[in-house]
Structure 1
Amino acid sequence: MIPQQLILRNFLSYRQAMLPFRGLHLACICGANGAGKSSLLEAIAWALWGQSRASREDDVIYYGEVEAYVDFEFTVQGQGYRVVRVRRRQQGTVLELQVQTAAGYSSLTQRSLRATQEKIIQILRLDYPTFVNSAYLRQGRADEFMAKRPSERKQLLAALLGLEQYEPLAEAARDRAREYKAQITLLEQRLSAEATQLAAQAHLQVQHQHLTARIAQQRQHLHQQQRVLQEQQAAYHAQQLRQQEYHNLVQQQHTLATTIEHLEQQCNALIQQRQAIANLLERAAELEVAACQWQNLTAQESALQQRFSDYQRLRHERDRQQAILEAQRQDLLQRLHKVDTQIHLIQEQSQHLATLIAKEPDILSALEQLQQARAQLQELEELQQQVFPLLRAKHQLETQRQQHYEHLRSRREELQQRWHHLQAQLNRQPELEQAVSVITAQIETLEKKRIYQEHLRQKGLERRQFMEQLQARQRDYERQIGHLDESLDRLGQPGAVCPLCQQPLDEEHYQQVLRRNTAEKEDLLNQVWVIREQLAVSEREIQVLRREYLAVGYEVSELTQLFEQRGYLQQQIQSTTDLGSQLTALATELEELDALLQTKTWGQESLRELEEIEAHLASLNYDEKNVAIARAQVEQWRWADAKQQELRHAKRQYRQLQQQLPPLEAQQQQLQQELATLLHDSEAAIALRALDEQLAALAYDPKAHAELQAALRTLQPQLEAYQELQRGRSRLPELDQKQQELEQTLALQRAQRDSIQHQLQQLAQSCTAMAAQAATLEHLQQQLTQQQHHLEADLAAHGKLTAELEQLTRLAKEHQQGQQHLEQLRHHFRVYSELAQGMGKNGIPAMLIETVLPHLEAETNAILGRLSNHQLHIQFITQRSRQRGSGDRKPIETLDILIADCQGTRPYESYSGGEAFRINFALRLALARLLAQRSGSDVQFLIIDEGFGTQDAQGCERLIAALNAIAPEFQCILAITHVPALKEAFQTRIEVTKGDQGSQISVIA
């Protein structure tokens, strides 16, 4: 990743700032504490990964503003990209990703914030933890890599090297292994259950044969019972026919009783009708008078009904006209209200525009000030166009001279450090030879202990073999004791025989055999107890040997490290043999460089050209502050342009409003006149007055009409009685004839009822004998049903057994196939388990880390040698032995870091702040260079935030020399510092200041 440009708006301490990275190679960001130096780099991290030092997301927004905006442009492998991240207070974050094309920037933003973030990480091939532990030496977190636990260091290094790609493969292999393991478990459970089922197959076949024979017997017995039941059913059927005849007669008797009852009811009804007609004949005169009154009232009601129709028509017409008049009135009222609203709105707008027009003198005065400020700014910008080429040329000359000077200084520093290093190595030769002698003596001692350890192991194996022999003898004795116990049990049974000759035992022989067997058992038991004591003693001896073996093994484990140290020291002794000639050559070159630097005989031509440019700049009398003041004045009076346009628009709008007001006032008066005319002289008003006159002339009385209708309803019952009287007079002869016919039919039905009663008495005795026969038949039927149920149950059991046997036959075939499939699953499980182990953290990634660590260690020591005058040395340890007493001899995987100086190896925490920073700085630079050399992550951007304050003058010079040495390997290196002496060593500086308008940036070359 190579940065190109950073734009900030309302981010942390910046209100608005822009930092171009193009052309920046090795630069420092300087300024006072709290000015906002680190915020520039925090903005880069926040734009790319959404991470910052703020505890809450809204804390990145400048105080008092509603949103923070960061726009960061960068290139990756020659392709340009742009990331824009916006945070709105209490709302959310917006993230955009764009790629540079020939036509401009094209969007790569995904559907969600998380997907876009993953796309950025995929392009960078670098996540935030990897960035801050490699390319970004963050303020207060320089020791982040060193402070991590050994296991976390190894994980972080694996992430830097891109080895996390093996973890998904290992996890996929583990998932497949777990799947096969689960399938194996399920299949083993299924095969176990199938084996249990198949074991019951022989027992089921025996049951099937027994059940087949029983079913044949039951079918024969059932056939006999069915024949007896058929004979009983034939006799019972004859009895059922007689019972059916009895039931038919009972039904006929019931039907006749119902018919007779119905005929009697009809006779009574005829008698009641004749009595009602007789009652009406007695009221004949009264009913005829009421009928006459009904006819007179009906004629009057018809005349009133005609007037009621006319009254309804006139009332409907009057309501319609009234609705028309009200609708016209509402329409006029709405139009009048609309006109009133428009007039009121125009008056308010006119008053507001008049207020703005009154400010015209102030606006014209501001416009004059703006024109003067623009003229002054134009003059200064023309002068700036003349100055900028001179400044650029001056900067290039100064850069060339400084680079030449720095190259000479760096070369001298490097030669001097090399000379001191070689001299120190030459002085350390006696010390190294003494150390080799001490280590050789330690190695000889440990070699003797290793031989003793092998002796202990052989002795332990001998004791183990002896214990196995004792255990075999113990098992043999216990088996003999078991045989004697069986013999004693047989002797205790009645009729016991001799175990040798198999003859019956008398009392004397019995006692002899018993004593002999008992004595043999006691002897064997004594032998077993002796063996157990010997086993316990041997076990204790083995425990002692094991503890001593482990103790010696822990000491011997240091032998390999001592061999390495001796070889390393011998190599150093061998390398010091030709140091004299190297020291002479270095001293000669140092003297030449010192003479060149003291006489300053380099770059005379560039110095003369630089003096000419400075003289020309002095004659132009250009000051950047005047340009800034002129720009500020232009910005101060820029509001006058907008106000002038607003004033013109206000005047034009005011004239338009004054022209619209008279027509609206005239329209208002006209609508008021139309409303007054509508209520008196409109067609609807005239029609309403005419309808009122017609209703008055009609003289219809609704109350009188209602009283007449009530009188008609009162006469209605008497009218109905008169009509019933007329019908009754004509029906009297018919009723008499019908009554005579009913009485004759009733007599015939009663005679038939008596005949049926006589027949029922004769059939009653036959139905009583049928009940006993029905009970016998029911008992037979129950026995037959029970026998059928037993047969059906046996048939069902027989079918179930047959199905189970067939299923077991199929199951046997499936069981064999399952065994074959189980072997295949076990093979797959073994394959994927080995793949998971190989792809895991202790497999291929561990091997790759072991390959990379020597390069990282060498690179770190090279940089650390420059920073510490070769006084500090770092070593990576990837494995260490387990603690004493641990049964596991496998070494522990780790990533320990050992730091050594002239006083020996010490913990990291015991070094001073300056020394700790040099160690961290060297390791961080080595990590960054390692990433730059690998194709996995294209890290061309290095950031060093603070930490220089812990260094003395000599340490700062060494840091600058180290940065110049690694500068060609990076496209951009930024160092943040507030140390005045250190920032002067950089040719390019980015100065950060903080004022009332937030932090400001200025680039000084």
Structure 2
Amino acid sequence: RQGRADEFTVKTAAERKRVLGDILGLDRWTIYEERAKERLRTIQAEAEAIELRLREIESELAHRSEYEMELDSAQKSIEELGAALQEAQTAYQQIETARTEFRHAEAQIAEIGRRVARAERELTALAEERVAQQKRLTEHEGLLAQADEVEAGYAAYQQAVEQEQTLGAKLHQSVELNERRVALEAQLAEARHRIEIKREVAAQRVAELESRLPDDTLLTKYEEVQAQLAHLTQLAESREAARDDRARIAEEQAELRTRNESLKAEMNALKEKIELLEQAEAECPLCAQPLSDEHRIELQARLQAKGQAMGNTYRANQAAAQELTGRARALEMQIAESDRTLRDTQALQRRAAALTERIERGEQAAEELKVAQTKLNQAERQLEEHGSEVRAKLAQILAQAEKLGYDAAAHEAARQAVAAGQVFAERKARLSAARTSVKEERETLARLAENEQRARKQMEAEQVRRTELEQKAGELEEQLQEAAAVEAELQRVRGEEAAARQRLGAAQQRLEACKALDRQQADKQKRRDELATEKSIHDELRIAFSVQGVPAMIIEAAVPEIEAEANRLLARMTGGCMHLRFDTQRETQAGEVRETLEIKIADELGTRPYENYSGGEKFRVNFAIRIALSKLLARRAGAQLQTLVIDEGFGTQDARGRERLVEAINAIQDDFARVLVVTHIDELRDAFPARIEVSKAPSGSTVMVL
């Protein structure tokens, strides 16, 4: 802030007070004022919102009497509609009872209709059964009249049955013998066929095994393939050895290249040393000392000999590397040729495996051939032995069939007689049944007549009951014609009663809302009062924080102190010829008093504004004000100024002014721990007891403390 003293003096009177406030650090009061204003704006906005809400609450509470009237009206409507609703519900209940009875009557009528239909079906069934029973009784009575004829025919039928059974037994034995004969013949044929098949299979197996025996051609091929495989095995081993040699040669080549690279680097280094030695005034590459011509030539010869030896080694390594490259190419060709030859190894191995398998199968076939030949001989012997035994059993069966003496013609005649007498067997069975069931059928016929009469009476009673129910259902249907009107009346009364209850609930809700609004109104009014109190406090704070408040008081207190200190210093510098005064108020042409901060300076010529003085005079005024401001700020901060720096402050002063400025500096030097004066005026060198001279030279500035 000290650097703004010039700004304080050069500004206009209207702006000088603001600048002084900035120098004194009064800008914080502007922040406080803005915060107070911001809080006032917030309070004002909240107060306006509260006033708006209070007006809305008052507008809503004005309808409370209407809500109370609506509540009373709704309660009366509910009471009046209660009786009407009770009557409508009673009438509706009667309609529902009639509807239930009507449905019950319809169900009973339908059930009676089903029972009547069932009774009609039962009567029809009883009549049909009575007719069928009468028919059976008539048939049985007719059979009883033909009893003698039926008995005679039945006796002839029994005799024919006995004859047919005797011949049937013989037929059964004949069939069994024939089946045994056929079975033996089939067994003989099957055994012969099975043995022939076994013999044929054995013969085919013998022929197959004979064809699988190894011959001389197969053995010769097998030996040739084995010899070729042995040659390929040796070739593969030779290829692996060549690959090992090639890898070893590659390692040797890499080692030779590494040696030559190292030799090349060393030879280049020797070449540089030799070139350095060839230069005039050469130095020793080891000790960096000058060399004599003799010593240089000797050292140069040793380095050249060493370089030549390295060159010989380098060329020998190159020749060896070229030789290894030739050997590597030869090995590559050998490996490639071996790879081409060894491509047929797998095919040859498969061929050898196939030949080996064929030879092994031939050796196995030789063993199996002996077994197959034995089985073929056994099959031929079984075929010769089996036929004689089966033919003996077949001859025995044919003899038994001839002894039985079965006559097929007589058996057929007996069958026809049995078929012709079958009618009498059936008539005999019906006759026996008629003798036992005639009495029962007559009783059943009488019982059917009684059941038919009872079913008819029951059907007539059901029809009478159905007529009564249909009459009652008609009466109930007439009563149900009023159901729509009754239901409509009930719905109307229910709707009106529900609407009344809805109005009652709405009125109650509105009145409860009014109670809540009463509480909200009290809270809002309380908050409004609190905001009014807070607003008055912040109004006072806003005024206190404004430029007319605390900052003005601080400036009013600081101005006399600055003025006194500045005049004290100015009197020392001018010998009491100059005096300044700060005017903080001025009267306008309208007679009003305004805040200002004018600097009035008085000298032997009178009182004039700051702007009317020369540069040297202004500097002395600025210097005095600056020192006064610095001391004021230090005192306000609870500290003490330690250093005073005056940079080029003498250029605008005349000789007398410079003397007085030096005197002023010397006069105030006890107020500071050190005073630094920066100047280019030579005559001021001896004005102070100590100095630091800075001299500028081509190589840079130098500093000297004197």
Q: What TM-score comes out, normalization by structure 2 length? A: 0.47
Select the structure that is richer in helix: 2
Q: What TM-score comes out, normalization by structure 1 length? A: 0.34
Select the structure that is richer in strand: 1
The structure having more radius of gyration, on CA atoms, is 2
